[in-house]
Chain A
């Protein structure tokens, strides 16, 4: 095809046609450049951030609405700044591993034991003193003393109004039965479910875990992105049962009232109500280890522990602080004895979940 037109007639174009768009580009570019320059010289907004590094830098896998008020309390109490960077725990753990010794972070607050374990495995966490570790029961802290639990959550079976109390399964392992076909939701990419599968492999063995995953997939378990959509899908009637953490339902009930159509069942068998923990550790590369430790002490103080118990309905871990009275007390949760620090073989779990098609 020839599009060259050597002899095409054309007006004598001695000047390019007018181009208002050109002026617009120039204005846009100039404006943006000015904005950019202004930004790099004066760090707007977060301006008062670092006059002379008065505080600590926190990488938080717990999102701001949950942990923000506790941080504010700390800042008021000790008159110090906390620079918090939020992200999901696993992404922040991956970031810490990439940053290595150059990390600006002093403290890592994780949503789950697995992410802390990964950072610890990379040798990036500093040991904590015994007096801090001993505030929390041994099963909620790392064996080598590099991180300590802050609050606990139980894996539960959430259920909607179409499920009668006598129908409820005794264990998540029963959800592979035909009666639950297509009625169950889970969040296989979520760390909490993966933690459960890891525990299953540890305690019941590889074969049981594999059979369960295969059974769940064959039974049409619906995969959601995370726990909240699972809960919402039960509320909207899309599914009848879901494997999630206890507090998602407790919170919805606190917000929407007692007639919120989802309830919680603590399954007694099959590692049903596995209890996992959020936790904190100090980066070995921190230049402010004392202040970082201060922050951890505060998170384990009665003030912060009661805050977690009341606001997000989690289980506090320090003696003397009571969980929400609506919840089954932690020592009565039919939880299996599982060493949480051994739940770090996520790779094996993911391998198995991939092989069985759960992921």
Chain B
């Protein structure tokens, strides 16, 4: 399985091997470094923003008496279902210079809005549609957190603020780092949003090399740089995770935390939640509904949408199931048996996520046509590709859930005579169920909006919602693309709802 996850990296190695000198020249050009700096800067800015949005939202929706807490929990997670390429396009048409908003403000004497293109647009869109990755992992961690530690700190005379800073935040470290890592890698590998926002990024360069110059070696060299960058990020994250022992040592299980009464801080809290939901969810969905209504009224046929939705569900559902199973194995190895080999396996699993979809897709084209021609362009291969691409999304939450389960519980069970598999089934699995659920849902949500691999590897004629959207927007039929986009949101929402509900079920 580690081999499967490493296929994209092997492909890069093969492509670089074609002409190692040209590859080296490409890497050492000053342009490469400029782009790398730009992309890293964007990734850092987006990750910081995502954390800044997500941590307060997570706290408000798990630990306080915020009115409508469950509704906010769901609404603030939902932006994750909006693919960044659709989000970017919607923002350009809504608040771009001379967009819809400018049309509205025109009569008020405002001629032109400031341009959204470039860094600001890419930063805004990617932050708004990726912060739920941090939100989900932090919320899960908050729910798991043992309140006794906080109570002890309070009894020892710390103020609530001091307690939060010195006791709660450090314990959230692995969750913030895990979610932040996913956001950072997502930004590094994103192509849709940056190209629509006309932000010159590293991934855009890879796409250009691959697809307009057929420069496989150069593109692979750049892909290699991305993998190296990913290793640095993983190293940072492992330092956060590795330096802490976060599971309880004593027996028993934590009791739910006491709810914090917000008092008059309720109103700013609601305002904050509303602002996020308005910009990240209501605005884009509103535009989609408007377009869809226009499209339907002008007689657009939406006949194939149902079939495409079934295809999307099928591919993404299977990828989520396979991904979750594989991720449990990877996470278990990495957390319970830390060592060089298991660490390498875990890191290899991240390669597929850090690389742009087109690289993963072409890697599988390369290997499948040679090693497994019978499987080429079948549903099986597509599911395999989606799993390889999104495996880390499942590994991260499962690993952070495992970190907070004391191995002594398992040891005790084994000491009492249960065989290891039985222990895994009856003890470990229930304790990390939240993490597994989160991982499964995350893979599902990403797989359902994936594009490049689906276009190249799905069975011929197997249209999904994402390929339909691509087909329509590629030709400027935005009204027609609004219908499959909305269906995509509707189909993706239930697993996400399940995910955000989890917090309230357990608490």
Binding site for B on A (CB under 8 A): 1, 3-13, 16-17, 19-22, 24-25, 28-29, 31-33, 35-36, 38-40, 43-46, 49, 57, 63-66, 83-88, 90-91, 93-95, 97-100, 102-104, 114, 118, 189, 191, 194, 222-226, 228-229, 231-232, 236-238, 346-347, 350, 354, 359
With both chains docked as a complex, state the minimum distance between the C-beta of B319 and any C-beta of chain A, in angstroms.
8
Q: A236 with B98: in contact, given A33-B318, A39-B318 (CB under 8 Å)?
A: yes
B320 interfacial by beta-carbon distance below 8 Å: yes
B223 interfacial by beta-carbon distance below 8 Å: no
B452 interfacial by beta-carbon distance below 8 Å: yes
Q: A86 with B455: in contact, given A16-B253, A223-B198 (CB under 8 Å)?
A: yes
Q: Are B430 and A19 in contact (CB under 8 A)?
A: yes
From B170, B462, B502, contact of A21 by CB (8 A): B502
Point out which of A32, A64, A222, A232 has the most chain B C-beta atoms below 10 A from its C-beta: A32
With both chains docked as a complex, state the minimum distance between the C-beta of A252 and any C-beta of chain B, in angstroms.
8
Q: Which residues of A contact B286 (CB under 8 A)?
A: none
With both chains docked as a complex, state the minimum distance between the C-beta of A72 and any C-beta of chain B, in angstroms.
13
With both chains docked as a complex, state the minimum distance between the C-beta of B95 and any C-beta of chain A, in angstroms.
13
Chain B's interface size range is 35 or more
Q: Are B198 and A40 in contact (CB under 8 A)?
A: no
Binding site for A on B (CB under 8 A): 31, 96-99, 148-149, 170-171, 195-196, 198, 204, 208-216, 244-246, 248-253, 255, 307, 310-311, 313-315, 317-318, 320-322, 324-325, 358, 362, 365-366, 369-370, 373, 376-380, 383, 427, 429-431, 433-434, 436-437, 440-441, 444, 452, 455-456, 459-462, 467, 471-472, 474-477, 495, 498, 502, 505-506
Q: Are A63 and B321 in contact (CB under 8 A)?
A: no
Q: Are B171 and A3 in contact (CB under 8 A)?
A: yes
Q: A33 with B214: in contact, given A49-B459, A98-B369 (CB under 8 Å)?
A: no
Q: Which residues of B contact A35 (CB under 8 A)?
A: 313-314, 317-318
5 additional A-B residue pairs with CB within 8 Å, beyond A36-B314, A63-B475, A95-B365: A9-B250, A16-B253, A24-B498, A44-B311, A97-B214
Q: Are B213 and A347 in contact (CB under 8 A)?
A: yes
Q: Are A22 and B430 in contact (CB under 8 A)?
A: yes
With both chains docked as a complex, state the minimum distance between the C-beta of A125 and any C-beta of chain B, in angstroms.
14
Question: Which A residue sits closest to B31, measured CB to CB?
Answer: A354
From B251, B377, B455, B476, contact of A13 by CB (8 A): B251
17 contacts between A and B (CB under 8 A): A5-B248, A11-B253, A16-B431, A17-B253, A19-B430, A19-B506, A21-B506, A28-B321, A28-B440, A32-B440, A43-B379, A46-B461, A49-B460, A91-B358, A97-B216, A189-B204, A191-B212
Assembled-state Cα–Cα distance A53/B317 (Å): 29
Q: Are B362 and A49 in contact (CB under 8 A)?
A: no
Q: Which residues of B contact A118 (CB under 8 A)?
A: 214
Q: Which residues of B contact A104 (CB under 8 A)?
A: 376-377, 460
Q: Are B498 and A29 in contact (CB under 8 A)?
A: no
Q: Which residues of A contact B436 (CB under 8 A)?
A: 25
Q: Are A57 and B460 in contact (CB under 8 A)?
A: yes
Q: Which residues of A contact B505 (CB under 8 A)?
A: 20-21
Q: Are B460 and A36 in contact (CB under 8 A)?
A: no
Question: Which B residue sits closest to A37, measured CB to CB?
Answer: B318
Question: Which B residue sits closest to A33, measured CB to CB?
Answer: B321
Q: A84 with B461: in contact, given A16-B253, A44-B310, A91-B211 (CB under 8 Å)?
A: yes
Q: Are A1 and B170 in contact (CB under 8 A)?
A: yes
With both chains docked as a complex, state the minimum distance between the C-beta of A17 and any C-beta of chain B, in angstroms.
5
From B211, B383, B429, contact of A90 by CB (8 A): B211
Question: Which B residue sits closest to A233, measured CB to CB?
Answer: B98
Q: Which residues of A contact B208 (CB under 8 A)?
A: 189, 350, 359
With both chains docked as a complex, state the minimum distance between the C-beta of B294 and any C-beta of chain A, in angstroms.
13
Q: Are A49 and B250 in contact (CB under 8 A)?
A: no
Q: A98 with B310: in contact, given A36-B322, A354-B31 (CB under 8 Å)?
A: no
With both chains docked as a complex, state the minimum distance between the C-beta of B252 and any C-beta of chain A, in angstroms.
3
Q: Which residues of B contact A19 (CB under 8 A)?
A: 430-431, 433-434, 506
Q: Are A8 and B250 in contact (CB under 8 A)?
A: yes
Question: Which B residue sits closest to A121, measured CB to CB?
Answer: B214
Question: Which B residue sits closest to A231, measured CB to CB?
Answer: B476
Q: Are B376 and A225 in contact (CB under 8 A)?
A: no
